[in-house]
Structure 1
Amino acid sequence: MIYRSFIPREVIAQLDRLQRELQHPAERSPSIRGGAPGSFPAINLSSSPTAIEICVFAPGIAPESLDVQIERGVLTVSGERASALPASDAQSTVHIGERFAGRFRRVVTLPDDIDGAAVAARYRNGVLHVSVPRRAAESPRKIEIN
């Protein structure tokens, strides 16, 4: 006996593709470790025993338009990038516009042992580098009993 489906294979393939596309944004949702992949601006975050290092890749943005704040263990980088597209008029048409323009905000939750008063930031060649030192941990010591 030959099995025949009432629904063509192309329809099932399209439904499967649609389901994957709908699930894709949910799988890339922001987490406590930062934003979703593909967010602007892209960041690299690394840690060592002495500091947390954050690189924010923001080419084409003036350093004075960036705002870096730290409050209660949360680092926030925000700003705005102007559009590089030509003004819309009757004589020009933009066919592809892949460069992000507009306001942005990235939030990174930091560990509890940071020294918020000693945070340093520098901007060079389109990369904002934020260094968040860790507080010196108290070393264990023996307490003498009298």
Structure 2
Amino acid sequence: MSDLNFGADLFSEFDRLQRQMASVFGGFPSSIRSGPFGAFPQINIGSTDDSIEIVAFAPGVDPQKLDVSIDKGLLSISGERGSAQPESTGDDMRTYAQERFIGTFRRVIELPQHADPDKVTAQYTNGCLTVSIGKREASKPRAVTVQ
């Protein structure tokens, strides 16, 4: 007979165990995919044969307040998003819930070794910041002729 006794809801027990493990290890994410829910901006990362493509979803951010930099193999995206609420018209507005992120933010992404920091472009369109980082020539796939 087992010494483990789980309640009727096994998933709630797994959730409790996950929270306990997170508190033991300080709650730090182990990778970009395990970052905190609601991290801003949300990102997608992909690649082509020639480049690494990163899309950061940052609606409501002034492109002039975005900073994109690469240092020691890390891509840093930082900026600030202000409030979308109109200025108060003299009446004191009480906020009961606020789900939209407001304030400064910073996301850091570790780049693969084959990323070329000299070949970077960034473009902000329709609330999406697209960063394209070229790959080093030595890492690109190439055909080898069999003799």
Q: CA deviation at 1:21?
A: 7.8
**Residue 68 of structure 1: aligned partner:** 68
Question: Which residue number corresponds to residue 5 of structure 1?
Answer: none
User: Identity of paired residues, percent?
Assistant: 41
Tell me which residue corresponds to 1:135: 136
Counterpart residue number, 1:19 = 16
Which of the pair is proportionally richer in strand?
Answer: 2
Relative to the length of structure 2, the TM-score reads 0.71
Q: Cα offset for 1:49?
A: 2.9
Structure 1 residues 65-144: aligned runs within 5 Å: 65-85=65-85, 91-137=92-138
TM-superposed deviation, 1:114:
1.2
Unaligned runs of 5+ in 1: 1-8, 10-14, 142-146
Q: Distance in 1 between matches of 2:79 and 2:55?
A: 15
One-letter amino acid matched to 2:54:
I
Q: Is the 8 A contact 1:85 1:97 kept in 2?
A: no
Task: Give the Å deviation of 1:97.
Answer: 0.6
**Distance in structure 2 (CA, Å) of the matches to 1:20 and 1:59:** 35
Deviation at 1:72, TM superposition (A): 1.3
The 2-side partners of 1:22 and 1:32 are apart by: 17
Deviates more, 1:21-30 or 1:56-65: 21-30
Question: CA shift at 1:85, angstroms?
Answer: 4.3
- Name the counterpart of 1:47: 47
Matches of 1:116 and 1:18 in 2, distance apart? Answer: 40
Deviations 1:32-53 (A, max 9, x none): 4364342111000012332110
For residues 113 and 84 of structure 2, the distance between their equivalents in structure 1, rounded to whole angstroms, comes to 40
2:30 is matched with 31
Compute the TM-score of the two structures, normalised by the length of structure 1: 0.71
Q: Deviations over 1:2-42 (max 9, x none)?
A: xxxxxxx9xxxxx9699368348669743343643421110
**SS in structure 2 at match of 1:98:** coil
- When residues 21 and 33 of structure 1 are mapped into structure 2, their CA distance, relative to the original with a 3 A threshold, is closer
Q: Cα–Cα, structure 1 residues 97 and 17, in superposed 2: closer, same or farther, change >3 Å?
A: farther
